[in-house]
Amino acid sequence: MAATALGLDSHHDAHAQHGSQSWVRRHIFSTDHKVIGINYMITGFVFFIIAGLLAEAMRLNLAQPGSKVLAPDVFNQFSTVHGSAMIFLFTIPFLVGGFGNYLMPLMIGAGDVAFPRLNLISYLLFPPGGIIMFAGFLFGGAAQAGWTSYPPISTQTPFGLSHDYGQICWLLSVIVVGVSSTITAINFLVTMVNMRAPGMSWFRLPLFVWAMLVTVILTLVVTPALAGGLSVQLMQILFGAPFFEPSKGGNVLLWQHMFWFYSHPAVYIMILPAMGIVSEIIPVFSRKPIFGYKAIAYSTMAIGLLAFLVWAHHMFTSGVQPWLEVYFMITTMIIAVPTGIKVFSWVATLFEGKLRLDAPLLFALGFVSTFTLGGITGIMLASVPVDLHEHGTYFLVAHLHYVLFGGSVFGIFSGIYMWWPKVTGRMLNERLSKLHFWCMYIFFNTTFFPMHIVGLLGMPRRVADYDPQFGIWNLFISLSAFVLGASFLIFMYNAANSLVHGEKAPPNPWGGRTLEWATASPPPHGNFATVPVITSLPYDYTLPAPYFGVPDDTVHLPASPTHE
């Protein structure tokens, strides 16, 4: 929103006609994909902070057994809104709406997305959608049925309330945000198919764009299923439509199928772009080509395809037919193969590199490290018999956070540190960035690793109180969680400091070879003065620049000596 406050002074200088418009017009109602991308990121980050504070409040309550910091219904509201906001209002919008909007058109050499005004609409739907979710707190209490919102608990009026306004808010919010991401998906798909620079064949796409392509296809296919489920649940609450009401011929498991048909692919919507970011960062900072470009691109497609076929592995204890559970166990096991290929390829890329261990690479390697553990526990959960013990426990909480925090959030922060100079035109303090990484990496692991153990020992998830035998574990987890939360203050200070006092960033501070580094930092409206022509993959460091047609004064390749 406040792009000027972010130090984007040069933004309108480069585009005189654009500069005559009002501040609001340029920074909130702008159709420039970069402004929209920044707005998505700022809005998403605000929701991230709020949802993170909700998590800290829950950890405060869980620090000791029998504590009454939060009333049980408030705890349930916090856990529901924490999960929903982190997923629907932070991770997906930040990765797809934020990074996707900002980077994808730049990386394919386009001036903007295919439908800039549609893009603006999809952003403008996002903040109201988020506010509606939190608005539940004003109407007697936010949704308290968990982010999965299983009926009948979600269609039941909570104890002590006369109406279920919180749940209605939740449903409306997710519908609005879902419409927003569907619009974005159509827009991106058209852009990637039609607006690639001349010479950019499919197998010359940067891996981040590959990830974005598969992500938007997933979004397009599955989001309508969720929208259908949400609408039907809304009809049941508002008008008594009996879709999930067994006494009137409905079926409660129907929701679980509709929900997970969206929400499992949503995990890949949240992890594929992060994998794309990591695939961009590792070669740049290793100063060598990505290992197995085609293998990574094909595994992205394979994950995208398999994502549709695994949803009921969330329902192994729900009473699904046994033969169906075996089918979903097999498909889920298969998905480990392309995921493994990616992880091994990233590690192999480091081999014989000249690694510059700067913050973006540290976060990217943090992603590889923690995501691998999340992937391993994912295989454990895929085995039906083992899942029968681990499902619904803190083991699952640990697995989920290793994938979505250790994976997506580390990916997001590696991307923030990577493209901060490009987006703001200023450098971050490297020392503070590294401090942030080490605090986040260490305390992430001390927070979430013990959760595996308490889960296996018998602590169920989504509880405001627990058996006193887990007290010491939970105290340790809570203390770690507070430090983990505080580590983001380092980032916020670093970011604010950079915007005010930061060193001016050159166009290509890291020596990247994708197209966004071939234009100014920040890029002008319209991105490129002339249309670039692509001649090869962006990962061959020994070759000359993989494109021509870009004015020389913005090209600093293969590696810029301005680093540090």
Partner 1 sequence: MNLARVSAILVVIFVVVSAWIIVTPLTGALPEATDHAQSIDFLFKFMLVASVAVFLIVQGFLLYFCLHYRRRKDEPEDALGSDIHGNTRLEIVWSVIPVIFLIVLTAMSFKVYVDIVAIPKQAYIINVQASQFQWECDHPKYGITEVGTCHMPLGEVTVRLHAHDVIHSFWVPEFRVKQDAVPGYPTEMHFKTIRVGQYRLICAEFCGVGHPEMYAKLFVMSQKDFAAWVKQQQQANSGSAPTTNLSFSKDIEPIFTAHCAACHIATHLANLDLGTYQGLLKGGNIVSGPIIKAGNHKGSVLWQITGTTGPYPGGNRMPLGGPYLSTAELAKITAWIDQGAKNN
Of residues 99 through 128, those in contact with partner 1 by CB under 8 A are: none
Q: How many Cα atoms are found within 13 Å in the side-chain-facing hemisphere of 50?
A: 18
Tokens describing residue 94:
């930040």
Residue 542 interacting with partner 1 (CB under 8 A)? yes
Amino acid at 63: A
Residue 239 interacting with partner 1 (CB under 8 A)? no
Residue 15 interacting with partner 1 (CB under 8 A)? no
Between residues 41 and 396, which has the closer beta carbon with respect to partner 1?
A: 396
Min. distance of Cβ 13 from partner 1 in angstroms?
Answer: 30
User: What gap in Å lies between CA 170 and CA 149, rounded to an integer?
Assistant: 9
Asked if 298 and 373 count as a contact pair (C-beta separation under 8 A), the reply is no
Query: Looking only at residues 153 through 182 of this chain, which bind partner 1 when binding is defined by CB under 8 A?
Result: 153, 156-160
If you write DSSP's letter for every residue of 200-240 in order, what string do you get? --GGGS-HHHHHHHHHHHHHHHHHHHHHHHHHHHHHHHHH-
Between residues 14 and 386, which has the closer beta carbon with respect to partner 1?
A: 386
Between residues 21 and 331, which has the closer beta carbon with respect to partner 1?
A: 331
Residue 251 interacting with partner 1 (CB under 8 A)? yes
Distances from the Cα of 216 to the Cα of 81, 101, 140, 192, 209, angstroms: 25, 12, 36, 10, 10
Q: In this structure, which long-range contacts are made by residues 555-559, counting pairs with CB atoms below 8 Å and at least 24 apart in sequence? A: 555/507, 555/508, 555/518, 556/506, 556/507, 556/508, 556/511, 556/517, 557/508, 557/511, 557/513, 557/517, 557/518, 558/511, 558/513, 559/287, 559/511
Among 360, 511, 524, 538, binds partner 1 (CB under 8 A): 511
Among 292, 471, 485, 549, binds partner 1 (CB under 8 A): 292
User: What gap in Å lies between CA 534 and CA 540, rounded to an integer?
Assistant: 13
Asked if 175 and 230 count as a contact pair (C-beta separation under 8 A), the reply is yes
Between residues 191 and 554, which has the closer beta carbon with respect to partner 1?
A: 554
Residue 291 interacting with partner 1 (CB under 8 A)? yes
Query: Looking only at residues 352 through 381 of this chain, which bind partner 1 when binding is defined by CB under 8 A?
Result: 352-357, 365, 368-369, 372-373, 376-377, 379-380
Among 24, 324, 348, 486, binds partner 1 (CB under 8 A): 348
Q: Is 124 exposed, middle or buried (0-12, 13-18, 19+ CB in 10 A)?
A: middle
Among 30, 84, 173, 286, binds partner 1 (CB under 8 A): 286
Residue 73 interacting with partner 1 (CB under 8 A)? yes
Residue 341 interacting with partner 1 (CB under 8 A)? yes
Residue 235 interacting with partner 1 (CB under 8 A)? no
Residue 546 interacting with partner 1 (CB under 8 A)? no
User: Is the bond preceding 524 in cis, omega lying within 30 degrees of 0?
Assistant: no
Asked if 100 and 33 count as a contact pair (C-beta separation under 8 A), the reply is no
Among 16, 17, 239, 385, binds partner 1 (CB under 8 A): 385
Amino acid at 37: G
Residue 241 interacting with partner 1 (CB under 8 A)? no
Letters for 443-472 (x = contact with partner 1 by CB under 8 A, - = none) are -------------xxx-xxxxxxxx-----
Between residues 127 and 158, which has the closer beta carbon with respect to partner 1?
A: 158
Listed ranges 112-120, 485-493, 520-528, 539-547: which one lies at the site for partner 1 (CB under 8 A): 539-547
User: What gap in Å lies between CA 188 and CA 310, rounded to an integer?
Assistant: 25
Residue 72 interacting with partner 1 (CB under 8 A)? yes
Residue 388 interacting with partner 1 (CB under 8 A)? yes
Between residues 140 and 152, which has the closer beta carbon with respect to partner 1?
A: 152
Residue 558 interacting with partner 1 (CB under 8 A)? yes
Between residues 134 and 285, which has the closer beta carbon with respect to partner 1?
A: 285
Residue 69 interacting with partner 1 (CB under 8 A)? no
Residue 296 gets the label, from left (phi > 0), alpha (psi -120 to 50) or beta, of: alpha
Kindly report the backbone phi and psi dihedral angles of residue 2, in degrees, each rounded to the nearest multiple of 5, phi listed first: -90, 70
Among 5, 53, 138, 326, binds partner 1 (CB under 8 A): 326
